């Protein structure tokens, strides 16, 4: 079975500071990994995805994530936080044979302090 664990349900950083949202996965087969963002009262939208190509993945809005097999991690980072980054972030996992079954983590709410 596959799963993802997001460490920290709420993260608060100052504007301009580094953003680090943690995600660890569990999978018995090579995983596909995703980060989605949800702004208030909206659906989720894809930030970035890893599907067995480059381990450092760049996404929209300046976010990136690195796949580390040895650590079973796929943490999301952004060098400098903007107020507009305040949202809920979801890590998700799938794999090549699961077709369309994507398992989402519990989410991390990111707050930005002025």
The Cα–Cα gap between 5 and 70 comes to 16
When the beta carbons of 20 and 96 are compared against another protein, the nearer one is 96
When the beta carbons of 25 and 81 are compared against another protein, the nearer one is 25
Q: How far is CA 101 from the centre of its chain?
A: 17
**C-alpha dihedral, 88 to 66 to 3 to 13, nearest 10°:** -30
Whole-number minimum distance, CB 33 to another protein, in Å?
10
Binding residues (CB under 8 A) for another protein: these are: 32, 36, 41-46, 49, 51, 90, 94-96, 98-107
When the beta carbons of 17 and 98 are compared against another protein, the nearer one is 98
Contact (Cβ atoms closer than 8 angstroms) between residue 113 and residue 13: yes
Whole-number minimum distance, CB 15 to another protein, in Å?
27
């Amino acid at each position: 079975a596959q799963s993802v664990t997001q460490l920290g349900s709420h993260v608060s950083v100052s504007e301009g500071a580094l953003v680090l949202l943690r995600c660890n996965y569990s999978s018995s087969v090579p995983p596909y990994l995703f980060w989605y963002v949800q702004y208030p009262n909206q659906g989720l939208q894809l930030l970035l995805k890893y599907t067995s190509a480059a381990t450092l993945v760049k996404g929209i809005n300046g976010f990136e994530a690195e796949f580390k097999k040895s650590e079973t991690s796929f943490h999301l980072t952004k060098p400098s936080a903007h107020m507009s980054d305040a949202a809920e972030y979801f890590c998700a996992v799938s794999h090549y044979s699961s077709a369309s079954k994507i398992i989402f983590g519990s989410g991390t709410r990111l707050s930005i302090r002025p």
